[in-house]
Chains A and B, each alone.
Chain A
């Protein structure tokens, strides 16, 4: 993408800026859609209708909420630490947004072609923890502090099973770059990693159950990373009012919400790239059958976004069905169950790749 723009404009800075802004625009539109989608999904699951009045079936509801948020008074508590209080939401959003640099939306639309794709993503999304701790501490509120500490513990712990499963996928595909991983899972769905990867052979069928286990482990861990139920203790409404963002109003609170939904999409995106073929279509391309190869990147983009939205939908589905885990039970699940299984998975996949 950067090359393409550089060729057009001839200027490094403008090309770089536009490449950076495309994911930002995508995030903003996605959040508008995701908030509406969550409200409709939760409403239909709970036997009611959700927003119906603003626009057709409420699609403009988020726009209305956003306008309301813009005109709210920005209150900072007297005893709060002003600088940290203001920087915290920015830091949290920056951590979520920076992960989009390495995620390929299609074969031509990639933010920056770093060789260390997935490694970069995992590292930069840990900025979020720093932001959350800052938010909790600077609010000068016992509830916020409790929420922030719990959230930090949760995110840091659940990065370990994520990293282990990602490591096993890296072993399998032999590359860290997300773009190359997507390209390796060529064009039909039986070549996706969840079904064993593109190389045909005995090893492929052996891998399938372990791929499923890996997928489940990484899905549960990333649910915890984005603080969604059943792991939403930092935001547990009925216990801590709103956890680490109790004291935030207006635009600062909107930044936290933005970064939460951005995070949700980015982890769904990582899961689709690792296991479900990234931007590859399961059934072949219209561009190929119609003979117009220029159409293919657009189709890939559509498939990628559709798969991401499907996993976001499953995350929402789980939120409205399951109750919440207590903080020590959450830690038990991570350290006593997910990490041992992830390790065993890693070792077995390693052995199979040697075959």
Chain B
């Protein structure tokens, strides 16, 4: 059973600059920041190392950090440009009983991250949902398409902070 600082040390020794930082002071859990293009290698290592054995991905969530500059659009609504979209991974080991949280940050204008679907099959639908809601593209995902919204929803990614509802969808009026 390891605590997050020890796990951070092991990862830092193995991967060097891909592991960016550990954020320890914020309640309630420490978060390790990882480079988005290396997350699949980090995940593979975490699953297979004998002292770590993280064989279960509990949840994978996309988050819109809303830390870019807010520009006023023509119709008085705000559009955010710049900043990041993040993905949080919560991992846990069934047999060794420890937990860790990882975070990757991708630029808002070109959000790409590696997919961890080949490592933990749970990530299949979670990544599709992150793509559907935020627009984060997961490279090497076998079937990246929308999951909760209709397959032909053109109007953007709903959970972003600057999302606007379209007027019409297939001839039906959208706002209530």
Q: A–B direct touch, CB within 8 Å, in complex?
A: no
